[in-house]
């Protein structure tokens, strides 16, 4: 299972990269707005740190605008992936970019037929948003399972990138259901190696050792 970090903060990206298990980065307009820095400049900085896929989201809502933005962003670095909304215009842009050899990440996916359509259009990644589905009282994990099943049924190569992950249980459930990738905020990644019994065990081992050998 691949692990991406979901942030536009360079310091968090460097810290996650230093763990040695980071496979890519996703950004979005809200995340870059938080950083208050030019989007293109930050994407270039991120691509200096991470070799894996780095998603750059378009702002345009129409196919022509998405294509213009996407082609421009794709020039930043070879590992840039163009993030497009899962709309009809996004679908057309996805197909056009895929035909040009530009990889896409189809974002804001909330139902399985969006995932089927974007896979048929040649998307590299599809991003179902788990947390935002949970937020409206439904179960985001059901969507991951449905997309997994559909892609497996037809051997569709688009990767399922679980997004809008809010806590470690989301990550565990994604791994159990078979998401190919999860994109995770840094504060959640930091919890993945935590268990109080690990800390208690270390303390006890050291105390026993010190008692015996000083
Ligand atoms: C995915 O690529 C998005 O950037 C992200 O996961 C959205 O998460 P949120 O619902 O917590 O904003």
Report which protein residue has its CA nearest ligand 1's atom 11.
164
Active site residue 83: yes
Q: What is d(CA 130, CA 133) in angstroms, rounded to the nearest whole number?
A: 5
- The helix (run of H) or strand (run of E) holding residue 107 is strand 104-109
Whole-number Å distance, alpha carbon 185 to ligand 1 midpoint, is 8
| CB atoms closer than 10 angstroms to residue 13 | 22
Report which protein residue has its CA nearest ligand 1's atom 7.
164
Query: Does residue 156 contact residue 113 with C-beta atoms inside 8 Å?
Result: no
What are the pLDDT digits (tens) for 115-127?
999 999 999 999 9
pTM of the predicted model over 0.85: yes
Annotated catalytic residue, options 83, 120, 169, 204: 83
Percent with pLDDT over 70 in the chain: 100
What are the pLDDT digits (tens) for 148-169?
999 999 999 999 999 999 999 9
Whole-number Å distance, alpha carbon 179 to ligand 1 midpoint, is 16
Sequence length of the chain is: 214
| CB atoms closer than 10 angstroms to residue 176 | 11
Residue of 9, 27, 28, 32 to test ligand 1 pocket, by largest number of atoms within 8 Å of CB: 28
Q: What is d(CA 27, CA 163) in angstroms, rounded to the nearest whole number?
A: 11
The verdict on the CB of residue 4 being under 6 Å from ligand 1 is no
pLDDT, mean over the chain: 98
Eight-class DSSP state of 72:
H
pLDDT of residue 111: 98
What are the pLDDT digits (tens) for 102-113?
999 999 999 999
The verdict on the CB of residue 57 being under 6 Å from ligand 1 is no
| Exposure b/e, 14-34, CB count within 10 A at least 16 = b | eebbeeeebbbbbbbeebbee
pLDDT of residue 112: 98
């Amino acid at each position: 299972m691949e692990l991406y970090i979901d942030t536009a903060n360079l310091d968090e990206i460097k810290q996650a990269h230093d763990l040695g298990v980071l496979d890519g980065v996703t950004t979005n307009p809200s995340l870059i707005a938080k950083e208050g820095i030019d989007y293109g400049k930050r994407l270039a900085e991120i691509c200096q740190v991470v070799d894996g896929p780095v998603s750059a989201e378009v702002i345009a809502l129409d196919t022509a605008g998405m294509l213009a933005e996407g082609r421009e962003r794709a020039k930043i670095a070879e590992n840039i992936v163009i993030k497009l909304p899962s709309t009809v215009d996004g679908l057309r842009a996805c197909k056009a970019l895929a035909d040009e050899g530009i990889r896409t990440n189809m974002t804001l996916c909330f139902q399985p037929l969006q995932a089927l359509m974007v896979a048929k259009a040649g998307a590299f990644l599809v991003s179902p948003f788990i947390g935002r589905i949970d937020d409206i009282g439904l179960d985001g994990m059901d969507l991951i399972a449905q997309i997994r099943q559909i892609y497996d049924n037809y051997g569709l190569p688009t990767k399922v990138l679980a997004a809008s992950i809010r806590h470690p249980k989301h990550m565990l459930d994604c791994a159990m259901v078979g998401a190919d990738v999860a994109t995770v905020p840094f504060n959640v990644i930091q919890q993945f190696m935590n268990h109080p019994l690990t800390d208690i065990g270390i303390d006890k081992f050291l105390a026993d050792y010190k008692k015996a050998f000083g």
